[in-house]
Amino acid sequence: MLTNPKVEELHNYEVYDQIERFLIKKEQKSIGTRKSYETDIKIFFKTIKEKELQFLTKEDVNLTIDDFEDFINYYQQNNIYSNKTINGKVSAIKSLLKYLKVKGLIEGDLSYFGEVTTLPEVRNSYGVLTLDEVMKWSELAKQETHHPNEKSLLILFALDTCIRKDAILRLKWSDFSKQDSEVMVKGIDKGNKEFRHSISESFFNDLLTIKAESEYVFGCLNKDSIQRMINKFKKLTKIDPDRNIVFHSIRKAGGTFRYKASGGDIVSTQRALGHTDPKVTTIYLGETTSNAKGAI
């Protein structure tokens, strides 16, 4: 710890109440967003002020650039967090202070924010599978002992829709609706964003072959069983470890396929991937260039 705690028998909870208001606003996006901000804020003030949030005073939240530098140096020099994680925590505190400034709890200006160090981040990007590799995995899945058809269709569904694994596992049969010759599927993906995708009626009929009593489409699978499958298939297909292939690599394969099939339409590809900013899609696809030869 960096400072000595101050013990106060009588305490005004004005700061804590405003922090709670700030977290409630974050919760409106998603409960996960709130928890992430709350954790970062707790760690920061526990480190710098040695206090729990409910005991913070106005003096405690009137931070200086030295406070930020002490926090960054402490966690970087002790190799406790990655640079990316440290940057994220610093960003959370900046966001909180801006809110508290509006609420009148911050006395000085926050112009020093621009001088707070942003640590360099090493991108740990996931590799991309070729279309041939995804189809090979789909065939290998049919040979699995447990739930072979469900695993095979999971792989094809991820490729076809570009939906993330967590969102796929949350899908219910009630999320599908037929429209003309297509079937629409809707749900909630990363960042609490709603998505809508269409699949062919024939593919939906394939999915119906695994329908059981569960309300979930892929109810027999979970993150652990999927990870075991991915690890096994990487070995069977002799995937180079340096490619950093994960389940998300199937989503990248789907995005790359859509981009090429559309003649390089970045906007339609952006929509398929659910990216808010097309620049993110450009970077996302840029990472897949070297391994995208089999997409079409």
Report the 3 state secondary structure along 169-182. Answer: HHCEHHHEEEECCE
Residues contacting 231, CB < 8 A, separation 6+: none
Write the pLDDT tens digit of every residue in 147-173. 999 999 999 999 999 899 999 999 999
The 3-state secondary structure of the chain reads: CCCCCCCCCCCCCHHHHHHHHHHHHHHCCCHHHHHHHHHHHHHHHHHHCCCCHHHCCHHHHCCCHHHHHHHHHHHHHCCCCCHHHHHHHHHHHHHHHHHHHHCCCCCCCCHHHHHCCCCCCCCCCCCCCCHHHHHHHHHHHCCCCCCHHHHHHHHHHHHHHCCCHHHHHHCEHHHEEEECCEEEEEEEEHHHEEEEEEEEHHHHHHHHCCCCCCCECCCCCCHHHHHHHHHHHHHHCCCCHHHCCCCHHHHHHHHHHHHHHCCCCHHHHHHHHCCCCHHHHHHHHHCCHHHCCCCC
68-77, 99-108, 274-283, range with the lowest pLDDT = 274-283
Residue 124: pLDDT band (50, 70, 90) is low
In the structure, what pLDDT confidence band is assigned to residue 7 with cuts at 50, 70 and 90? Answer: very low
Model confidence at 290, pLDDT cuts 50, 70, 90, reads very low
Confidence of residue 264 (pLDDT cuts 50, 70, 90): confident
pLDDT at 109: 92
Single-letter code of the amino acid located at 94: K
| Model confidence band, residue 279 (pLDDT cutoffs 50, 70, 90) | low
The pTM of the whole model exceeds 0.85: no
Closest to 173 measured CA to CA, from 226, 225, 218: 218
pLDDT at 289 over 80: no
Here the tokens at position 143 are 């040979």
Task: Specify the pLDDT at position 71.
Answer: 96
Residue predicted with more confidence, 67 or 188: 67
